[in-house]
Structure 1
Amino acid sequence: MKSITKVFILVFVVSFGLLFWINRLNASEGYSGDNTITVYNWGDYIEPKLIEKFEKETGYKVIYQTFDSNEAMLTKIEQGGTTFDIAVPSEYAISKMKEEDLLLPIDHSKIPNLKYIDKRFLDLSFDPKNKYSIPYFWGTVGIVYNPEQLGGKKITSWNDLWDKDLRNEILLVDGAREVMGMGLNTLGYSLNDVNKAHLQEAKEKLDTLTPNVKAIVGDEIKMLMANEEASVGVVWSGDASEIMYENEKLEYVVPKEGSNLWFDNIVIPKTAKNIEGAHAFINFMLDPENAAQNTDYVGYSTPNVGALEILGEEVAGDERFYPGPELTEKLEVYENLGKRNLAYYNELFLEFKMHSK
């Protein structure tokens, strides 16, 4: 009898342990049930208190995971081993996800707060009629700089970065499209140019910048610029906003030749298990009060006019981060270049990085 009892206890313990680890695995791999949604977003790209608020208001439990590039996000979703109910890709990644049938259409009737999105940011080329995506944040790529460290000089152009006085003073964001785009812009070419001769020319132009390049870095660019470890940085506008909050001496400019106008949108991956919860999350994030709180925390430009009314003219009227039509007409949205062309961009960027060391 004792041996049977021992066997029973052993089976119970093993079963309980197995269930425990299955639950842990499901949580880490993004498992979603009826009462759980898994959100896949960029790092530090949501006000954490909003997740708590959403859980409290709706009863859903949020599993939150992050990625550091569109490519990493795409790879994980393409592999299909992980279930995500929400993802936040950029515009060219959305185009690719549509091509590969990785997205579910969004039911606009379940998102009444869509009415608060500025019509300028709806029905764009990468997702006509917003069938698969809803605007989250938008912004530009530009130059953040410290006029004091530059002796009062102003920067207005990409070509200003080639000034010999900036030797070992420039930090570049670690992004192939952004850095190659800078080279293309200086030559008057499109950010979506796939002409190999033009791309090689842009790379050769970038090679002449290397004496001025201090480092090519990731998120640490914000801390380094705020701490005045360099006087110039090529960054996304939201990062510039955060840097300038930490150090009021700095300025941000979108170069006069033009630059990138980017959009990050919320999508529902095709493998989603909690579609109702996904729609509830999107609608929650589009509520003006929540969108304003999120914008204040993240620092990027919101497409939500209701949120801008709450944030006021100090935010909405800042043309560095909410540029007018005169500038935005010179800006380009990244297009999906296709695997072969994107690989060539990455190859040239890697060569430039090696040359910069």
Structure 2
Amino acid sequence: MEQYEPDRLTSARTAASRRSARGGRAPLSRRSLLRASAGGALTVGGLGALSACGIPAAGQTQGGTSAEDHSAKEKTVNFSNWPVYIDVDESGKKHPTLDAFTRQTGITVKYNEDINDNNEFFGKIKPQLASGQDTGRDVMVLTDWLAARMIRLGWVEKLDPANLPHAFANLSEQFRGPDWDPGRAYSYPYQGVSNVIAYNKKALDGIEVKSISDMLDNPKLKGRVAFLSEMRDTMGMTLIDMGKDPAKFTDDDYDAAIARLQKAVDKGQIRRFTGNDYTSDLAKGDVAVCLAWGGDIVQLQSDSADVDYILPEAGFTTATDNLLIPRGARHKANAERLIDFYYQPEQAAQLVSYTAFISPVDGAREELAKIDKSAAENPLIFPTKDMVARSHSFRALSDKEEAAYEAKFAKLTGT
């Protein structure tokens, strides 16, 4: 049985690598263009379908106990990540931070870019985790909603604070207390991403857009507006515009936001719901204004003077990709040392100089200023205090809510 949760936030974590520390441009987009196929979509039964397949429902902790840690004898760590989501040298073949980690610790990193989609990856590792087997991976990068689910299932190792001195000291305040992992007992952020309103100045031709309401209600923008195909991004931004907190909304709030967007779809205001492909439409001006991911806009602005963005006064949503150790990992301590390594400010600066997403590491900005002053001053990479105050996270969902909300959103978007 291969049913699993639809991956709407995943297409979200790509992107747009801006440049390496030496000024080299990244060749590809980080954000996956894959959409959940019909065969991978979760039925309205939600996670109950997983229990029927012998996989425990969220909140249960079935599965094997932690395996023996072989870190002391085996100086290696297996790291699974997304494509184009780490720094590279000018040859495009080496990762300077991973090489520095090996020099610093003597631990060799087996680096795999084998996560193309949260759901696809979950489907790949769930049989081993459900039966208590080693996945062959020691650390992996998952988007916050799937990280929360893995923790609920009991499929993530609890971290040893003794191995994470830099992470504990340097984690930025805004990332310290997600409701799905209080105190960061099981995860640490790898990168963050903000949702913004992006626009093409030439295509807008003087039309003022400052909010989601402007996007939905101005008849001059009919057919030239795009929203994201990621449920949490589009719904979170819409809820904020309606005066609701995406960390605390109710079923009625969600339904009201769906109805508001449906009205805009019915009258042709919204051109379409997109994944990462909005970038080409925006750059060409086929779309005048859209919801967008901050890292993409950093990249687009380096290529086009017409592209710009605003952060609504009402607020905006922020999500994270997170480093986690799967249950039964063979090299847990080595993995913890790798997580901690990326919380050394100089290493975090090297990483973010390439990815252009939000760094969760205090001190990284000062280090980045030494190699790329403009990047260090970019609020999409290092948000200001005002931005942090206006940012919101989409709350963790129950299994029942997840299935119901995704079904309603799929109906809205026609997927």
TM range (shorter): 0.7 to 0.9
Q: Which residue of 1 aligns with 2:64?
A: none
Task: Return the offset for 1:297.
Answer: 0.9
Q: Which residue of 1 aligns with 2:193?
A: 139
Task: Return the offset for 1:47.
Answer: 1.8
TM-score (norm 1): 0.80
Q: Which residue of 2 aligns with 1:303?
A: 360
Task: Return the offset for 1:35.
Answer: 4.9
Aligned residues: 324
Task: Return the offset for 1:350.
Answer: 1.0
Q: Which residue of 2 aligns with 1:159?
A: 213
- Listed as ranges, the matches of 1:251-270 within 5 Å are 251-270=308-327
- Listed as ranges, the matches of 1:75-94 within 5 Å are 75-80=123-128, 82-94=135-147
Task: Return the offset for 1:257.
Answer: 2.1
Instruction: Decide which of 288, 307, 320 is 1:231's aligned counterpart.
Output: 288
1:104-127, Cα deviation, whole Å (9 max, x unpaired): 122232234323333443344432
- Three-state SS of the structure 2 residue aligned to 1:67 is coil
Specify every segment of 5 or more residues in structure 2 that has no aligned partner in the other structure, as ranges: 1-69, 89-94, 130-134
The percentage of aligned residue pairs carrying the same residue is: 22
Q: Does 1:102 align with 2:155?
A: yes
Paired with 1:281 and 1:217, the residues of 2 have a C-alpha distance of: 35
Larger Rg belongs to: 1
Task: Return the offset for 1:90.
Answer: 3.3
- Three-state SS of the structure 2 residue aligned to 1:260 is strand
Instruction: Decide which of 219, 223, 242 is 1:168's aligned counterpart.
Output: 223
Give the letter aligned to residue 99 of structure 2.
Answer: K
Q: Which residue of 2 aligns with 1:15?
A: none
Task: Return the offset for 1:187.
Answer: 2.4
Give the letter aligned to residue 83 of structure 1.
Answer: G
Task: Judge which range, 161-170 or 190-199, deviates more.
Answer: 190-199
Contact 1:85 1:273 (C-alpha < 8 Å) held by counterparts: yes
Contact 2:191 2:320 (C-alpha < 8 Å) held by counterparts: yes
- Three-state SS of the structure 2 residue aligned to 1:335 is coil
Give the letter aligned to residue 245 of structure 2.
Answer: S
Paired with 2:269 and 2:227, the residues of 1 have a C-alpha distance of: 10
Task: Judge which range, 323-332 or 161-170, deviates more.
Answer: 323-332
Instruction: Decide which of 334, 352, 355 is 2:412's aligned counterpart.
Output: 352
Contact 2:345 2:363 (C-alpha < 8 Å) held by counterparts: yes
Q: Which residue of 2 aligns with 1:53?
A: 99
Q: Does 1:197 align with 2:252?
A: yes
Q: Which residue of 2 aligns with 1:62?
A: 110
Task: Judge which range, 265-274 or 91-100, deviates more.
Answer: 91-100
Paired with 1:69 and 1:180, the residues of 2 have a C-alpha distance of: 20
Contact 1:192 1:335 (C-alpha < 8 Å) held by counterparts: yes
Structure 1 residues 116 and 348: CA distance shift in structure 2, 3 A:
same
Paired with 1:52 and 1:91, the residues of 2 have a C-alpha distance of: 24
Task: Return the offset for 1:56.
Answer: 5.2
Paired with 2:100 and 2:286, the residues of 1 have a C-alpha distance of: 39
Give the letter aligned to residue 140 of structure 2.
Answer: A
Q: Does 1:207 align with 2:262?
A: yes
RMSD of equivalent CA atoms: 2.8
Task: Judge which range, 262-271 or 317-326, deviates more.
Answer: 317-326
Give the letter aligned to residue 86 of structure 2.
Answer: I
Contact 2:79 2:109 (C-alpha < 8 Å) held by counterparts: no
Q: Which residue of 1 aligns with 2:80?
A: 40
Structure 1 residues 324 and 61: CA distance shift in structure 2, 3 A:
closer
Give the letter aligned to residue 158 of structure 1.
Answer: I
Task: Return the offset for 1:206.
Answer: 0.6
Specify every segment of 5 or more residues in structure 1 that has no aligned partner in the other structure, as ranges: 1-31
